[in-house]
Structure 1
Amino acid sequence: MTDLFTLEAEVRTDLGKGASRRLRHANKVPAILYGEEKEPVSLTLAHNKVVRAQQEEAFYTQVLTLVIGGEKVECVVKDMQRHPFKPQVMHLDFLRVDASHPIHSNVPVHFVNEEAATKKGGTIAHHIAEIAVTCLPGNLPEFIEVDVADIEVGQTLHLSDVKFPEGVTSDELAKGESHDQAVVTLNAPKGGSDEASEEAAAE
């Protein structure tokens, strides 16, 4: 865990819309921490620290550490509200995690070796950008890599073709074969057969 994902937080007792507005004017971000059958705790964090941290893709998927009154609490981001047009974080929801309890999270997909795939004459079409997974907090990956080097023109890779890290399982695959989502297709060149892409789109 890097210092970037360790954030100082203060407990707040002044609640309500007016209080939240005052906090934002003071460059603070209102937040709430809940989960693990404990009482929710209302917090504030420094806006500049949050903005810096959330620029990293891993901020949304990795276990973070909140330091509250000297106590370290491990958690994940469950929701973030942004200002509709200003570069401002309006509110954060954090969910406590326990090292021994599995968690559900959406992990981004990184596609690799696309250049090798497209040299075969087709074009790559991504069908998903993230995958819902279940794992222990310590096994939560920053991203899931999908290697398309061996994909053939007209072929579609599905969730069942993805190599998941040890201890990580797909929430969709756990529901059965009918939930084996299309992940990526190497479409045939324009004018050629595009049946695989159409099938993937139908899914």
Structure 2
Amino acid sequence: MSNVFEFVAESRGQSGKSAARRARRAGNVPAVIYGGHGEPQMLLLNHNEVIKHLAHEAVYSHVLGVNIDGKTERVVLKGVQRHPAKFQVLHMDFLRVTMSEALKVHVPLHFVNEQTSVGGKKGGIVTHAMIDVEVSCLPAALPDYIEVDLGGLDIGESAHLSDIVLPAGVEIVALAQGSEHDHPVASMMASKASKDDAA
């Protein structure tokens, strides 16, 4: 099985819509690597391999390798354009990573202890306001996901960004912009059954 964190690509000489359409007809995905300390580079990736890679959640929040004609670039996945009706990836954007420089990446949130929480034991239902959060950190500190413990949440309460326990070296971008950006990530709502019990 191929390494899920390494994409194999080849250089794409031509750009433009017609060249991209030809690439897709041939079973490839047009892509670009940009940023860092290099010029943008146009790429082609095998569509079937891309689909296999994107099935893994960690690919979206992990430092990846893109092997281009035998040379590997360290990158993070910044964008995936999908066809609105077909099971097809149309384009991908990769951002170069310098291991000594902080980067901003969206990381998935994993919610734990919903059922055993204070409100969950009373029949409450959790609603999620966010499924991921943008963090800033050095590439080596980038987590695959961030856990949000809802164990102490009661009915009528919300967990906010500031309640999340972060790994060392990781900051939430929104919180660095001020306390007014301390948005809720999950709320415990009363279910119909729990309302009936309280009546």
Same fold (TM over 0.5): yes
Q: State the identity %.
A: 44
CA drift at 1:37:
3.2
Is 1:75 the counterpart of 2:75? The answer is yes
Equivalent in 132, 137, 158 of residue 135 of structure 1 = 137
In structure 2, the residue matched to 1:115 is 115
Tell me the distance in 1 between the aligned counterparts of 2:5 and 2:130: 26
CA drift at 1:192:
8.0
Tell me the distance in 1 between the aligned counterparts of 2:190 and 2:8: 51
2:39 alignment partner, SS class: strand
Tell me the distance in 1 between the aligned counterparts of 2:86 and 2:191: 42
Deviations 1:152-200 (A, max 9, x none): 222211111110111110111111111111111212344989xxxxxxx
Tell me the distance in 2 between the aligned counterparts of 1:139 and 1:128: 22
Tell me the distance in 2 between the aligned counterparts of 1:170 and 1:4: 26
- TM-score w.r.t. structure 2 length? 0.91
| Cα distance change, pair 13–189 in 1 and its aligned pair in 2 (3 A) | closer
Is 1:172 the counterpart of 2:171? The answer is no
Tell me the distance in 2 between the aligned counterparts of 1:176 and 1:17: 42
CA RMSD of aligned residues (A): 1.6
Aligned ranges for residues 41-190 of structure 1 at < 5 Å? Answer: 41-117=41-117, 118-190=120-192
CA drift at 1:110:
0.7
Tell me the distance in 1 between the aligned counterparts of 2:110 and 2:29: 30
Q: Tell me whether 114-123 or 154-163 shows the greater mean CA deviation.
A: 114-123
Aligned residues: 192
In structure 2, the residue matched to 1:37 is 37
Tell me the distance in 1 between the aligned counterparts of 2:79 and 2:47: 16
CA drift at 1:121:
2.9
Tell me the distance in 2 between the aligned counterparts of 1:67 and 1:156: 44
Tell me the distance in 1 between the aligned counterparts of 2:141 and 2:76: 13
